[in-house]
Amino acid sequence: MRSRLTSSAFLIVIALAASHATASQAVAQTRATKSQKPAAKPDVLPVQVFLDRAGYSSGELDGADGPNTRQAIAAFERDKKTTVTAAVGATTEPATISYTISAEDDGMPRTESIPEDMMEKAKLKRLDYATILEMLGERFHVAPALLKKLNPTSSFAEGDQITVPNVSVVTAAEGKPVPDITVTVSKSNATLTVTDASGATLMHAPVTSGSEHDPLPIGQWTVTAIARNPTFNYNPDLFWDAEPSHATAKVPPGPNGPVGLVWIDISKPHYGIHGTPEPGSVGHTSSHGCVRLTNWDVLKLAAMVGKGTKVEFVE
């Protein structure tokens, strides 16, 4: 937390200085006090990494305090009956680890230029990561800007040893659906929570869910299907902001596809839970009514749910 003198503290400092020095000395003292830089805020990254490992995602790790991080902290402390500060202090796991970029990483498929227009996207064969930095960011749940900051001299090429957040890497492998779980999406909190039959939290993550034009459909639904690496069936009639010239189209799959790496279909027609090509936007911007998570969080969710899993959209 930043350490700053309050306005009343400033008045006391000035008054004391004036009583023991000349007016010019008091002014000089005040200027010197104001010129001092406030203490740096504690590093948020270790907290975000700890929460991520504990199953309380704050979305894209950026090392900054924000609503996603505060929601994750609140949920963890409510469920675990302890403070995050105490839990982080007790862990023996480091917040960051070293990782050596492999030849496979460096040779990954790339879609270097991804158009904004949906019809132009439909002309491509795939929507892969644009850069290795983007891919590594998603693998380690970290904003590319922070990854660069952690590795200011790296070229992010084969053989480079880089510092990355110590998170549990999520793969695309299918899991076995967990029985008797409920997926709850809170419109007001912008969160998704998975709980078991006893009410214990199995997963917590930030989401983007609906907008003024496409509000979240409050109600009880069920999972009907799960599509990994999905092709997106674009229908401009379902998008209030679609270009008038647009037509229906099939947009190719990939992490930079409109719905990311997973589409979880629900019993409400035209609605689902899915990933995103823009993890930094999750919890911060609106969507077209569906529920959007980071690609790594939706992969984790997809490994837990199955056909018939209960889904609740609540205020």
**Confidence tier at 5 by pLDDT (50, 70, 90):** very low
Nearest to 231 by CA among 247, 248, 252: 252
Angle, vertex CA 171, rays to CA 165 and CA 173, nearest 5:
165
pLDDT at 62 over 90: yes
Average confidence (pLDDT) over 35-52: 72
DSSP strands (E only) in 62-217: 96-100, 161-165, 182-186, 191-195, 201-206, 208-209
pLDDT given at position 289: 64
Q: Name the amino acid, one letter, at 45.
A: L
Give the span between the Cα atoms of 138 and 260, in whole angstroms.
Answer: 11
pLDDT at 159 over 60: yes
Rounded (to 5) percent helix, strand, coil in the chain: 30, 20, 50
Q: Name the amino acid, one letter, at 217.
A: P
Give the span between the Cα atoms of 94 and 91, in whole angstroms.
Answer: 8
pTM value is 0.84
Average confidence (pLDDT) over 29-40: 37
pLDDT given at position 240: 67
pLDDT at 286 over 70: no
Average confidence (pLDDT) over 161-167: 98
Number of continuous H segments (helices) and E segments (strands) in the chain: 10, 13
DSSP class of residue 74?
H
* Among 50-54, 230-234, 308-312, the least confident range: 230-234
pLDDT given at position 187: 93
Give the span between the Cα atoms of 149 and 151, in whole angstroms.
Answer: 5
First-to-last alpha carbon distance for the chain, in angstroms, is 32
Q: Do residues 138 and 171 touch, judged by C-beta distance below 8 A? A: no
SS3 at position 305: coil
Residues in Cβ contact with 85 at an 8 Å cutoff, skipping those fewer than 6 apart: none
Q: Which alpha helices (DSSP H) does 192-306 contain, by range?
A: 295-302
Q: What is the pLDDT of residues 110-147, one digit of tens each?
A: 999 999 999 999 999 999 999 999 999 999 999 999 99
pLDDT at 41 over 60: no
- In the numeric block, the tokens 């189209």 are attached to 249
CATH architecture for segment(s) 182-314: Beta Barrel (2.40)
**If you average pLDDT over each of 22-31, 243-252, 281-290, which comes out highest?**
243-252
The residue extents of the domains of the chain are 45-165, 182-314
Q: What average pLDDT is seen over the chain?
A: 87
Average confidence (pLDDT) over 262-267: 97
Q: Do residues 38 and 4 touch, judged by C-beta distance below 8 A? A: yes
pLDDT at 34 over 70: no
pLDDT given at position 90: 97
pLDDT given at position 174: 79
